[in-house]
Amino acid sequence: MKPGNRKLLLIILVSLVIVTLAGFSLKYFFFSKEPVSYITDKVQRMDIEESVLASGSLHAVKTVAVGAQVSGQLKKLHVAVGDRVRKGDLLAEIDPILQQNTLRDTEAALENVMAQKHSKQALLKKYQLEYQRQKTMSAAEASSQADLEGARAQLAGTRADIAALNAQIKQAKIAIDTARANLGYTRIIAPMDGIVLSIITEEGQTVVSAQSATTILKLANLDTITVKAEISEADVTKVKPGQKVYFTILGEPDRRRYSTIRAIEPAPTSATSSTSSDSTASSSSSAAIYYNGLFEVPNKDHRLRDSMTAQVAIVLKEAKQALCIPSSALGEKDQDGRYFVRVLKDNKPESRKILIGATNKVLVQVVEGLHEGDTVIIADSTTVPATASSDVSPPARPHQGM
């Protein structure tokens, strides 16, 4: 082979090698496709609960404002805030001098009317004798008809006076009973068993009850507590009497107290009066609407106190050791109410339809469509940016025994 041909052949071979390497490089860098990676989680068994959360307040099952029915100076208080009292215990005393004087006046008035009646009764006997005498004399034509008629009129008038005095005696007795009752009202007696919540009127203050009974103290029965849970209008249609409910207080966040919903108030907690103006109604319509759900819990140890704040959970659904998956694994909802999920099987995704039950927004209960141990896909590298895929992890599962 001539030297010129040999050189030409070498150039051609080198060019082919360069083109081949460039083709492989182009395919590798521009047309190669990385394998898809998946973020997954296992189908596991655990307890799950679907509930409505609400903020509530604690109230004594029965609260009584103990007031004064008579006027006077509060002379003595026999209790202090926090004292436990029994029905019939003496709570306070009002200076009784005014009521005692009123009772003496009414008793004296009764004595006066009784004396008048005795006087009229003596006159009645006199007029009866006079009438009999005039009647006898008139029959013997020894007296005039006018004298007989005068005696008859005196007798009838005296009898009428005695009847009027009898009515006055009844009035006087009623006045005495009222005065005696008012004197009794100067001693304030506990109307029920309970605890003194607050004292409104202090010793030495003047009590005036001309228009309404003045409150001296507030008494409450704390053996049972009523919880008022404010349920939003978005959730109130899901709640009904008889549902299980539990709550915690700020001082004991780890202790749950259980009960059942007794009733749901038909009107919102801030119902607008029918006499409100249109401007007030329009402004209140934009505010959140809440309805009180009511239930009771025993409180024999009195650890729960009036007006405490409660974090309430009303249980709508619950399942023990149910199959659960993260709610983020759910796809679109079908017309039959089932959801699509992707399952990773032999490193290949496949679509399934499942029926769900309870959900707590983090997990959902799987009723049909999956088995324990199946691997569900939450996301993959085609939907999650490469810079963030390493930071994405399955949602934290709640502790067992929710």
pLDDT score of 158: 86
Listed by start position, the domains of the chain span: 38-50+317-389, 53-60+223-315, 96-185
Q: Return the percent helix, strand and coil in the chain, to nearest 5.
A: 30, 35, 30
Distances (CA, A) of 197 to 60, 172, 180, 212, 238: 10, 41, 30, 21, 36
pTM score above 0.85: no
Q: 24 pairs with which residues across the strands?
A: none
User: 147 with 138: CB under 8 angstroms?
Assistant: yes
User: 246 with 101: CB under 8 angstroms?
Assistant: no
CATH of 38-50+317-389, one of 3.90.1150.10, 2.40.420.20, 3.40.190.10, 3.90.850.10: 2.40.420.20
pLDDT score of 272: 41
CA pair distance 141, 238, nearest whole angstrom: 103
Token pair belonging to 41: 């989680």
Helices vs strands, H then E, count in the chain: 5, 18
Query: What is the CATH superfamily name and number for domain 53-60+223-315?
Result: Efflux pump adaptor protein, beta barrel domain (2.40.30.170)
CA pair distance 121, 124, nearest whole angstrom: 5
Query: Tens of pLDDT along 259-303?
Result: 999 999 999 986 544 444 444 444 445 578 999 999 999 999 999
Count of CB atoms within 10 A of residue 376's CB? Answer: 24
Count of CB atoms within 10 A of residue 288's CB? Answer: 11
The burial class, CB within 10 Å (0-12 / 13-18 / 19+), for 167 is exposed
pLDDT score of 275: 41
Work out the widest C-alpha separation in the chain, in whole angstroms.
199
CA pair distance 66, 199, nearest whole angstrom: 10
pLDDT score of 123: 86
User: 227 with 310: CB under 8 angstroms?
Assistant: yes
Query: Residue 112: in which H helix or E strand, if any?
Result: helix 97-139
Residue with tokens 């150039």: 11
pLDDT score of 58: 96
User: 91 with 189: CB under 8 angstroms?
Assistant: yes
- For residue 329, how far is the Cα from the chain centroid? 38
Count of CB atoms within 10 A of residue 256's CB? Answer: 11
User: 62 with 220: CB under 8 angstroms?
Assistant: yes
Q: How many CA atoms lie within 13 A of 104 on its CB side?
A: 6
The burial class, CB within 10 Å (0-12 / 13-18 / 19+), for 43 is buried
pLDDT score of 178: 93
Tens digit of each residue's pLDDT, the chain (402 residues): 555 666 666 677 767 767 777 666 655 555 555 677 888 999 999 999 999 999 999 999 999 999 888 888 999 999 999 999 999 999 999 999 999 999 999 999 999 999 999 988 888 888 888 878 777 777 777 777 787 778 788 888 888 988 999 999 999 999 999 999 999 999 999 999 999 999 998 998 888 876 567 889 999 999 999 999 999 999 999 999 999 999 999 999 999 999 999 999 999 986 544 444 444 444 445 578 999 999 999 999 999 999 999 999 999 999 999 999 999 999 999 888 899 999 988 888 999 999 999 998 899 999 999 999 999 999 887 765 544 444 445 655 654 443
- For residue 277, how far is the Cα from the chain centroid? 28
pLDDT score of 106: 95
Distances (CA, A) of 275 to 278, 281, 287, 290, 345: 9, 10, 18, 21, 66
pLDDT score of 323: 93
Q: Which are the contacts of 22, defined by CB distance < 8 A and separation ≥ 6?
A: none
Token pair belonging to 95: 């200076």
**Among positive and negative, which fits the CA dihedral 157, 160, 164, 166?**
positive
User: 261 with 297: CB under 8 angstroms?
Assistant: no
Closest CA to 234 of 289, 166, 184, 153: 289
